[in-house]
Amino acid sequence: MKKYILPFFLCLLFAFPVSLFSERLTSTSLNTHRGLFVTVIQDPPVLSSKEEITKLIEFARSAHINILFVQIYRANKAWFASTVGDSAPYETNMKNLSEDPFALLIKEAHASGIQVHAWLNLLSLGNNADAKLLKKYGTDILTRNLKEKKILEDYKIDNQYFLEPGDLRVREELSNMVEEILRAYPDLDGVQFDYIRYPDKHPAYGYTKMNVERFKQASGLERVEESSLVWKNWKRDQVSGLLELLVQKTRSLRPNIQISMTGLMPFSRAYHEGFQDWPSWLQSGLVDFVTLMCYIRTTPEFETYLLDAKNKTKDFQNVNIAIGAFELMKSPETFAQQFELCEKAGSRACVIFHYGSLLENPALASPLMGKVKRVEPAKFVDG
């Protein structure tokens, strides 16, 4: 009978749009955090002027946001002084402000009691065909499948280039880049490692020369079989190995800084397609918390994501739930439902992706404004 319980419960979730969790809640207190992703691609970018920085801090205060995840590395471009990434964005902003914009943001946020975490998109180069790392190493550092590659465009996966986590040169470059940030911003509260994974779209990747040679040497096997558990575990180990290296570098420079990473959802997608094992990273204490990307357009599915996350962790207070406001631009009512569910779920924080979406449609921000409601955490039913 036990194997039928979870499917039956999930059917109930989809049958009743109003959360089943809400019926079990009372209005007693629960301390929760609120977070906000701040991207470099919104217009105008926050780091482009003092006015935009001030505007962000004021918005965060009014929305009771106490953690900002600020993107300063994306597509091998750097919004800080870097030798690893292209620092052109940083240099442009420096000319506009006559001071380091990210340092100014940290200072202003701290004055308002708000934490700032550096949000770093690591293994994705976006569609940046002119990336410094590509010019330095060529296409050998890009993860690939077994299809023939004739031109650079052939390496694109889901409209972006992905670095190979099993390439030791990639690991060294990213580790050096993290060191640049930690030395430049001693007041930084945390670092969040994003895109620590393989591409999860048709997951038969990892066939770079260096990665395959390392696999054969480590396993003693002469051939790579895509269906082999040895090969799959190897790829999962490469993702974990990169994260371990970055954490080691971070801890050596800033022992007490908060370290987190973003995780795919649902967990089956993370584990089997992205080759992320974020529950084990939490359980081992490798990272302080994970931010799970629960970007879904329907509330019942969002609830199943919450259940999945809860059931995969021993301490839900080490989990952030990220809500995709960008997916709900035309559905502020759905965003409000998901945000309420998140705040009642008892996780470490509810994190909104992203600030630009809230500016573009102010109706999305309505649930964040006004007096903060404190509620008892929801009781999840294990499957």
Lowest mean pLDDT among 17-21, 188-192, 301-305: 17-21
pLDDT for 371 equals: 66
Burial class (CB in 10 A: 0-12, 13-18, 19+), 107: middle
Residue 116 in this model has a pLDDT that exceeds 60 = yes
Domain ranges of the chain: 31-367
Tell me the pLDDT tens digit for each residue of 251-269: 999 999 999 999 999 999 9
What is the β-pairing status of strands 67-74 and 77-78?
antiparallel
| Mean pLDDT within 10-33 | 41
Q: Which of 330, 251, 239 is nearest to 287 (CA)?
A: 251
CA 340, CA 161: separation in Å to the nearest integer? 36
Residue 72 in this model has a pLDDT that exceeds 80 = yes
Q: CA 204: distance to chain centroid?
A: 22
| Mean pLDDT within 68-79 | 98
**Does the domain spanning 31-367 belong to CATH 3.40.50.300?**
no
Residue 27 in this model has a pLDDT that exceeds 70 = no
Residue 25 in this model has a pLDDT that exceeds 90 = no
| Mean pLDDT within 262-286 | 97
The number of beta carbons lying within 10 Å of the beta carbon of residue 184 is 16
pLDDT for 202 equals: 84
At 32, the pLDDT band (50, 70, 90 cuts) reads low
Q: Are 28 and 375 in contact (CB under 8 A)?
A: yes
Give pTM, 2 decimals: 0.90
Share of the chain above pLDDT 90, in %: 86
